[in-house]
Structures are given as C-alpha cells and as structure tokens.
Chain A
C-alpha cells in the first residue's frame, strides 16, 4: 500500500493522505481485525517494519510490510517510537521519518488499545456522538461542549469525499466518519460560513450544536447533488426542507414521477433545462438562465410535457417536477464514485 500511496500522491497531489490513514484504521477497528493485521496495515502503509511492545502484561510483535510476523528477538523500540500508557509503537525506518509516520503511529496505537480492551471504541468516533441521530440529546450536548461548541451557537456540517480537492483548507473541527457511501470527510463550521474552497462539497443546513446530526444528513444529500465540474458545491439552504425530506427517504425505492422523468433525462439538454425551469418564474427567464433561445426552451418544455403525465409548469406540477428532479439527481449521483481524471491532474 505504500507504493499505492506514493502513486496516489503522484496522480492526485491534493489527496488528503492523512485522512485516508484515519479512514483505514477506522475500518480495521470496526472490522475487529487482530494485532497482526493492525501492524501489517501500518507496515504496509509506511513500507517498513512496524512493531509494538507492552510492558504489562508483557507482549510484543513486529510485522513486515508483507504482513508476515517477524521474530520477536529484537523487539526493542526504535528511536522514533511513540510511547503512552505503557504501550510503545514504532516504525523501523532506516532513513528519516516520512510525512505520515506520526499519523500512522497515532492511529496504530489507538487501534491496538481498543483491540486489547484498554480503551472503548468511542475515541475513534471523534465527531461521532455529535453526528449520530441515535445518541440521546443529553450526550450530544456533552459532546458538543467537549469539542468547544457553544450551546447557543449555530453550526453547519460539511461533507466531502476523501478525494475532494481543496484550494484552501481552513482550520475547523474535522473527522473521517463511516457512512453507507464509504468513509466521509466531515467538518463543522459556524453557521455564517456557507462556502469553502473545496470540491465537491455538501454544506449542511445551519443547526444548533445538539442537532448537528440533522445538518450532517442534509450535507450528505447536498454532496450527492453535486456534479463535477458543473456543480462543485451544494448548500442545503438552497433547498431547505426538500433536502431534509430526501435525507429521510429511501431514494432507491421506486418513486412516482421519477420513473417518468427517466425518459426526459435521456436528452443531453435535460439537466440544464430542468434546472433553469425550476429556478425561474417563467419560460422566458428560464431560457435566459439556460442561455438558449426562447423558442428552443419552449420546444424542450413541450418535449418534457409530452413525456410526463402532468404539467410541470402548473400548480402542484411544479412541486412534483422539482422533487422528482432532485430525486433523479440523487439516484444518478456519481460524485462519490470518482473525481473526473481531468480534475485530478
């Protein structure tokens, strides 16, 4: 994996390698892997032997980058060892320490403590309690206070894939959390901040410190509404309750209107046209937004009308098409699959 990390760095200089190291150990801890596997990951990531030693009860192990256990004979801590609470971890480098060594050792030590029953699993979920809807409000408030968030303040959760491109990475409370879309980079910022210079990025709705799980769920939907390069960032505020509604439903299940919309979406102009129509009060305004001639917009609208069982420009029809369009975008979201290669080099 060391070689992969190096190639990753070459292919994508903006890759957040430290975040990936965190995500890697999070997965290992959650997967309940053993000591050899934890040391093997550290060795493989760093490209050199990784070892640990504990005084009481006395135990030690050294693992090669190949994942093989080496003889314990010379399990003496290396100069760059990290020691705390009687646990010592190290990487056996010949040369000077590399950029991610400290991060690897920190995560390794924490993972070993958890595996050996010395620490509960909680420390890994640094922002976890704050973002987990299952945690009771009392605990969330305690977590928020511990992280220095004001009980009266309002905040937003940002959600980004680990491969997001940052032009400017400001100081903020951040973490990598597991989601059903894979490990996700999340940040917490004051409500006044509605944009960061990163792409793709979902900006959650502003919420009090004890309701950041709601901001997180809207941030995830917002992120999935992004489309690189056209829509690098989506702010939940633009869609309000619609985003939270989408966050609460199973978007993969069949949905009336979305099925019909599929036919319309086959047209190459469909996304830009629907977006313009939904943002405008009139067809004329929509044609200006989409930068097409009024008659072109009119023709496209007729095509859309023909495909749908309702009039998308009339009364409740506007709401139906708006929701169906957002649902369609979520279903077909590819923003988490892959950053387009041209964006990465």
Chain B
C-alpha cells in the first residue's frame, strides 16, 4: 500500500495496529452500526448526553414474554437516604431461592437499575434466582463514599431481609458490570472487613477496579472502542475528585488498591483483550490467587468493553455468556 491515500491504507484494525490487539471482526461490524452513539471518549461535558443515551430500557421491554414478575421496593442507602430497587422473581418460584444483588454499569456517572439487565434476568428464568437490582447515587453529584456505601447498605438490607425477600441466605451472590463490578468487588471486601453478610460468590464483569490509570491496557485504546482512558479518568475524577490516583483512596472504592485479598468469596472475572480494563482484571484475579483465594478469569480475544451487551449475537459474546452462565449455575443452581 502506498502513502498517497492514507485513509485507504487499512481498515480499522484490518492490519493490527502496533502494540494493540485488534477488535474481533463481528464486533467491528457492530461498532460500524452504533458508531457515534457511544462515544469512545467521554469527557465531563458528555455526562448529560450519556445519561439519556445510556438509560436502561423500560421495565416492560425487559420482562415481557418472560416468566418473570417484578416488585418495586425502596431501601435505605447511605445515611438513611431512600433509594429504589427492583426485585425480579420467577413466576413459579416457591420458597427460599438463591439471590443476586446486582450493581449496574455506567462509569459511576450514568445508567440505572435496568441497564444491562438482560443477562441477569436469564438467571431468574433459568436458575430461579431472586434478582435485586438497585439504584445507587451517582457521581459527580454524589462523590465517594456515596456510591459504594449505597451499595453496601443494599447488601445489608438484602441480607437482613433475606427471609422476607425469599432469598436463601447461604446462596447470596453479588454481581456487577463495569463500574458496578468495581463497586461489587469493593462491597465484598467491605463485608469481610466489617463482619457483614457472607457471600457465596462475586461476579465481576469487566470490572472498573483501578483509579490510577497506570496499566498498559489503559493506554492502549485511546479514542477507539467503548470507554477509553479519558472516559475512565472522567469517571474516577467524578467519583474521587482531586483524590484520584493519590494516596487517599479506599479499596472499597477502587479494589485494585486492596492489599489484603484473603477470605473473599469465590470470584468470576471476564474481560475483553481489547479494552482498557484487561490488565486490571487480570491483576485482580492474580492477586486473589496469590492470597489463596478462588477466582476464575476469562479474557476474550478482540473484545471491547461490554461487548456482550452491545452485540450479544456474536460468536465471542455467546462464548462469554455461556461461560459465565456455567459458573453461575455451578455456584447458584439447586
């Protein structure tokens, strides 16, 4: 290829860029469809736009045609602030069932309890779990510790009300995706430290764990894909303000900061090889193993952030979903 038509040299990642894994072809095709809708680089001035663009689908769209019923509840978050939760049960469910507390995605700044819920609802349908999806207060209006302490308060509520909620307390799992994955991991550490509820597992989908932005993968995907380094800085700055990257950040907010990772519930981590969270997910799994813990890690080649939500029909997504479902079934199924 010559230099005369630089724009025509290669397609995006047709020829792997030096030092960066290429996107999977099916995912690349998906990006061609949604291009511009989910900007790779999210700066503070885009928060309002993302709150519209990333809002969860209406409840009806989520459960219509599924054997699932939903109950709306409120619970007391941090400092007694009332927050909303949706509880999903199988229409045929009887007696105490396994429970999932789900913490939604959205970079700590957007999203709601209905965002990215489809795959979680599969567990209600297939395993008969009780799924509790919660709101937590969002940054930058509510900085640390509000989001994480709201999540922790939700965990205490679900555990203490387990009987009334119809949840089998021995089989309570915390799950979260992206920013929610980081908050879920943080809540698991906090529960250990504070003598809180015992969890049977933590499902961490492409979790946002590290505010320091120092890994190789964080710097590999500037301006491409979904959620790049700048977006990550926007999210962590919204949560931590000036404290981002400094010495004064709690491991409950940024679990990559944790130095004590013993005695945590079994963890499942999945992540794409072509996203900024790759290295921190791998490092977290590694740290759990080093602390004698139980962790299962899957890195999906050519996957960008949250690719299973963007393009669930692709071979890579179906692999990720089936693998995750197999683990959830091992941990939660009757």
Residues on A close to B: CB < 8 A? 1, 3-5, 7-8, 11-12, 15, 20-21, 23-28, 30-33, 36-37, 40-41, 43-45, 65-68, 131-134, 159, 161-163, 177-184, 213-214, 216-217, 220, 247-248, 334, 337-339, 341
In the complex, besides A213-B5, A217-B6, 10 extra interface pairs with C-beta distance below 8 angstroms are A4-B33, A8-B33, A8-B34, A11-B52, A25-B29, A132-B8, A161-B36, A163-B36, A182-B31, A247-B4
Give Cα distance in the complex from A184 to B5, angstroms.
13
**Nearest CB of A to B34, in Å:** 5
A36 CB contacts on chain B under 8 angstroms: 315
Note all chain B residues with C-beta closer than 8 A to A24: 29-30, 32-33
Cβ of B329 < 8 Å from any Cβ of A?
A: no
Is B234 located at the chain interface by the 8 A CB criterion? no
Interface size of B by CB at 8 A reads 44
Which residue of chain A has its CB nearest to the CB of B309?
A4
A269→B53 CA distance, assembly (Å): 32
Most buried by A among B5, B6, B7, B313: B7
Contact (Cβ within 8 A) B33 A1: yes
Is B35 engaged at the interface, CB distance under 8 Å to the other chain?
A: yes
- The distance in angstroms between the C-alpha atoms of A159 and B8, with both chains bound, is 12
A30 & B25 in contact (Cβ 8 Å cutoff):
yes
Contacting pair A178 B315 (CB below 8 A): no
Complex interface: chain B residues within 8 A of A247 (CB): 4-6
1/0 per residue, CB under 8 A from A, across B24-46: the answer is 11101111111111011100001
Name the residue on B nearest A44 (C-beta). Answer: B313
Determine whether B311 belongs to the interface, using a CB cutoff of 8 Å to chain A: yes
In the complex, the answer to whether A8 meets B37 with C-beta atoms within 8 Å is yes
Interchain CB contact (< 8 A) of A180 among B10, B40, B311? B10
Residues of the B chain whose Cβ atoms lie less than 8 Å from the Cβ of A20? 32-33, 35
Instruction: Select which of A30, A45, A133, A248 is within 8 A of B11 by beta carbon.
Output: A30
B2 near A: Cβ within 8 Å?
A: yes
Question: Which of B1, B52, B57, B311 interacts with A44 by CB under 8 Å?
Answer: B311
B52: shortest Cβ distance to chain A, in Å?
7
A66 and B25 in contact (CB under 8 A), knowing A217-B6, A337-B41? no
